[in-house]
Chain A
Amino acid sequence: METIYQLLHVTFANVPAWTVQVAAFLIPIAFIFGVYPAIFALTTLVERKALGRIQNRYGPNRVGIFGVLQPLADGLKILLKEDIVPRVADKFTHFLAPVLIVVPGLLVYLVVPVAPGMVAVDLKIGVLFALAVGTMSAIALFMAGWASRNKFSLLGAVRAVAQVVSYEVPTVMAGVAVIMAAGTLSTLTIVQRQGGGILNISNWYVFRPWGLVGFVLFVIGGLAESARCPFDLPEAESELIGGYHTEYSGFKFALFQMGEYLAGMAMAGVTVTLFLGGYMGPGSGPGLVGSLIAMLWFFSKLAGMIMLNIWIRGTWPRLRVDQLMGFAWKVLLPLALVNIVAVGFWHFLTPRPLAWVVTTGWLVIWFLVLTKCNASAILEKREYRYV
């Protein structure tokens, strides 16, 4: 915000100061409300096309050339649908849930920097803010499922809440590793710490042993928190019809889809910021050209993360509930804790090659131990008959 303010202040020197202030306040908001929903609309199309390719079919190709107008047609169709509220539903909560579900996703973008100095609010506790706001979506999901007065909705809601609460822990722990290495909670500073090196690339945290582990943990946790495949148990069609949004139709249903995608994209944005160097890349830096290149880098990485999510969705089977919980508490959480210790090794072992060897060895040993310990649980034969 400060950067935009200074930029505007220099460019429009002769307009009153308060208009510049208001503009500097409104531009980031307009950016967040304009760009990310547009990316969401684009993502729905790209996702359907990509899933079509993965499943050996065409995907949408009727509206416009190659189906590019499909999001528009979808939006129009969903606006014209009747809005049905169940007679026994808790009307107020039922109405409030789809509104609330969009909010956390949008709030996270406040602290995601897209170019040098270009962050809506440079909070000193940016990472913590993003993680804290992300957990609020659990409440909205629960409200939706509970207010519908439908057993499938409620089951979906309970699953969603349990899942979000469980995966929050390893996700935050994976973030703690980055916070320790960067020594700050500000997202802007974390991105700056990842600059320099070879081509602005070699210092990205993902190219560290602990960073790679943290990255994988964070991506898995992000998928689970935004209830995307393979963690989409809350809305498992074959088991729960539509999960928490079974009783929603029309625009409210569209809001659910939007909230889910925005949350997923927000997690992707935070992942890019924490591990993939944010806007850092060859050519990004201060100044107008550098900023534009930086922005290009950021959105390319965001698109890459979204494509990774789509790829995972198209190719991975859904987990079972007990597998889901076991994976979070028995594999991800110990690995995240071990990863924090690895950052300590990285920080205190002085010759860099030694730090590389020790950290990698430590993580590999623990990974093998965890795999060994959980092997029987994964391969256990299960009896589904009621006795």
Chain B
Amino acid sequence: MNIAFWIISAVAVLGAVLAVTLRNLVHCVLALILFFIGIAAHYFLLRADFLGTVQILIYVGAVAVLILFAIMLTHNVTGVDGPKELLGVKWWSGAAIAATLAILLKKAILSDPLATLLPAGDKAQSSVAEIGKALVAGWVVSLEAIAILLTAALIGAVVIALEEIQKS
């Protein structure tokens, strides 16, 4: 199982790095999909089967497709981005900030006793029924709030994207 962790982590990191560095926008999205699948595999490894499937259903099936559509509607469809972006001052400063953050987070994590915590023995898988019951029993207000938020986002997205067409 340890080897699975390292392989999946390598895939996820590779996908994330490629997603933010590649020149071609569509290649970026494909790398992002690799990253999403890596995260889903991590959820399966952490015994959160339901979340892993939701991750694939929502991120790979919906969000990635949405991004692809946005590229098709905005950019030239070959997806090639401008050439002079990489390795400028902005790039170096941004990368430096991110690297500093990573190093600081790593220090903070390793200094905490929680970092060496191991999973306690073999545990039963979480059941979907349990999640569902908690969702409609204890967290029903949050569920409704999310439902309203999603509806608002849906309508808002349509309104924002349609505005220009109606004017002309």
A residues with CB within 8 A of B: 90, 93, 123-125, 128-129, 131-133, 135-136, 138-139, 142-143, 146, 149, 154, 158, 161-162, 164-165, 168, 172, 183-185
In the docked arrangement, what's the CA distance between A184 and B65, Å?
29
B residues with CB within 8 A of A: 24, 26-27, 30, 33, 49-50, 53-54, 56-57, 60-62, 64-65, 68-69, 72, 77-79, 125, 127-129
* 3 cross-chain pairs, A with B, having the tightest CB-CB distances, nearest first: A135-B61, A132-B57, A132-B56
Q: Which of B27, B65, B79, B127 contacts A165 (CB 8 A)?
A: B65
Looking at chain B's contact residues, is the secondary structure mostly helix, strand, loop, or mixed?
helix
Query: Given A124-B127, A146-B77, is A93 in contact with B68 using a C-beta cutoff of 8 Å?
Result: no
Q: For the complex formed, measure the closest distance between the CB of B122 and the CB atoms of chain A, giving whole angstroms.
A: 16
In the docked arrangement, what's the CA distance between A386 and B53, Å?
45
Chain A residue with the shortest CB-CB distance to B61:
A135
Query: Given A124-B125, A124-B127, is A161 in contact with B61 using a C-beta cutoff of 8 Å?
Result: no
In the docked arrangement, what's the CA distance between A199 and B61, Å?
40
Asked whether A128 lies within 8 Å of B64 as measured between CB atoms, the reply is no
Best-surrounded residue of A132, A138, A165 (most CB of chain B within 10 A): A132
In the docked arrangement, what's the CA distance between A125 and B27, Å?
31
Q: B24: which A residues are within 8 A, CB to CB?
A: 90
In the docked arrangement, what's the CA distance between A93 and B31, Å?
11
Q: A164: which B residues are within 8 A, CB to CB?
A: 65
Looking at chain A's contact residues, is the secondary structure mostly helix, strand, loop, or mixed?
helix
Query: Given A139-B64, A146-B77, A161-B69, is A125 in contact with B50 using a C-beta cutoff of 8 Å?
Result: yes
In the docked arrangement, what's the CA distance between A124 and B50, Å?
9
Q: B78: which A residues are within 8 A, CB to CB?
A: 149
Asked whether A154 lies within 8 Å of B53 as measured between CB atoms, the reply is no
Q: For the complex formed, measure the closest distance between the CB of B30 and the CB atoms of chain A, giving whole angstroms.
A: 7
**21 interchain pairs, CB-CB under 8 A:** A90-B24, A93-B26, A93-B27, A123-B49, A125-B49, A128-B57, A129-B53, A132-B53, A132-B54, A135-B62, A138-B61, A139-B65, A143-B30, A146-B26, A154-B77, A158-B69, A161-B69, A164-B65, A165-B65, A168-B61, A185-B128
Q: For the complex formed, measure the closest distance between the CB of B39 and the CB atoms of chain A, giving whole angstroms.
A: 14
Query: Given A138-B65, A161-B65, A165-B61, is A133 in contact with B56 using a C-beta cutoff of 8 Å?
Result: yes
Chain B residue with the shortest CB-CB distance to A135:
B61
Q: B68: which A residues are within 8 A, CB to CB?
A: 142, 161
Q: A129: which B residues are within 8 A, CB to CB?
A: 53
Q: A149: which B residues are within 8 A, CB to CB?
A: 78
Given A124-B127, A135-B61, 10 more pairs with CB closer than 8 A: A125-B49, A128-B53, A128-B57, A132-B56, A136-B61, A138-B61, A146-B79, A154-B77, A161-B65, A185-B128
